Structure 1
Amino acid sequence: MGVWMTVAQAAAVANLLLLGALGWVWVGNYRSHGASHTLAYLVFATFLFVENIVWLYLYLLDDAFIRWYEITTPTIQLSMAALCGLETIALLAVARITWR
C-alpha cells in the first residue's frame, strides 16, 4: 500500500469524525431552533458521511479497487488523496466556524 492510499484513508476517517461531530451539533441546534438552514446542513453532512463511508470501504475492503489504485499512475493516486484531503480542510473550516 502506498503513501497516498494511507493519506486518503486517514482523510476519510478524519472526515467521518468531523462530520459526526458537526452532525451532533447541528442536530442539537435544529431541535432548539428548527431553522431550515440547519436542516440543510444535516442533509449535506449525511451525504458527505455516506460518501466517506464508501471511500473508506473502497480504500480498505474492496480488493479490485485496491489493486487498481496500486497500479494506477502516481498522479491519479495523488489527485484522489488530495480530494479527500481538501474535503478535510473544508470540514475543519466549517467546524471552526460552527464551534465558535
Structure 2
Amino acid sequence: MTLWVDVARVAIVANVLLTAALGYVWGRNYLQFRSKQPLGLVVFAAFLFLENVLALYFYQFEPTLRVWVTSVPLVAQSAMTLLRLCEFGGLCFLTWVSWE
C-alpha cells in the first residue's frame, strides 16, 4: 500500500458519509417543500453516493482493481487522490451550507 492510496480511501469514506448527510438534508427539504430543486439535489446526492460507494469497492475490495491502484505510477496515485480530496472539500462546503 502507498500513502496516496490510503489517503484516497479515507477521502472516499468521508465522501460517502458527507453525501449521505446531504441526501438526508435534501430529502427532508424535498418532503417539506415538494419542489423540483430539492428533488434535483436528492438525485444528485444519490448518484454521487453511488459513485463513491463504487469507488470504495474498487479501491478496497475488488481483487483486480485493488492491486492495480497500488501498482500504477506515483503521479497517477497522487492525481487520483487529489481528485478525491477536491471532491471532499466541495462536499464539506456543501454540507456546511446545507446543514444550517
TM-score (norm. length: structure 2): 0.95
Structure 2 portions without partners, runs of 5+: none
User: C-alpha displacement at 1:63, in angstroms?
Assistant: 1.8
Structure 1 portions without partners, runs of 5+: none
| Whole-angstrom CA distance in 2 between matches of 1:17 and 1:82 | 18
| Whole-angstrom CA distance in 2 between matches of 1:71 and 1:56 | 17
| Whole-angstrom CA distance in 1 between matches of 2:67 and 2:19 | 29
Aligned pairs, number:
100
User: C-alpha displacement at 1:24, in angstroms?
Assistant: 0.8
User: C-alpha displacement at 1:62, in angstroms?
Assistant: 1.4
| Whole-angstrom CA distance in 2 between matches of 1:60 and 1:68 | 11
Map Cα deviations across residues 10-55 of structure 1 (whole Å, 9 max, x no partner): 1111011101111111111101101211000001000000000110
Paired residue for 1:8? Answer: 8
RMSD: 0.9
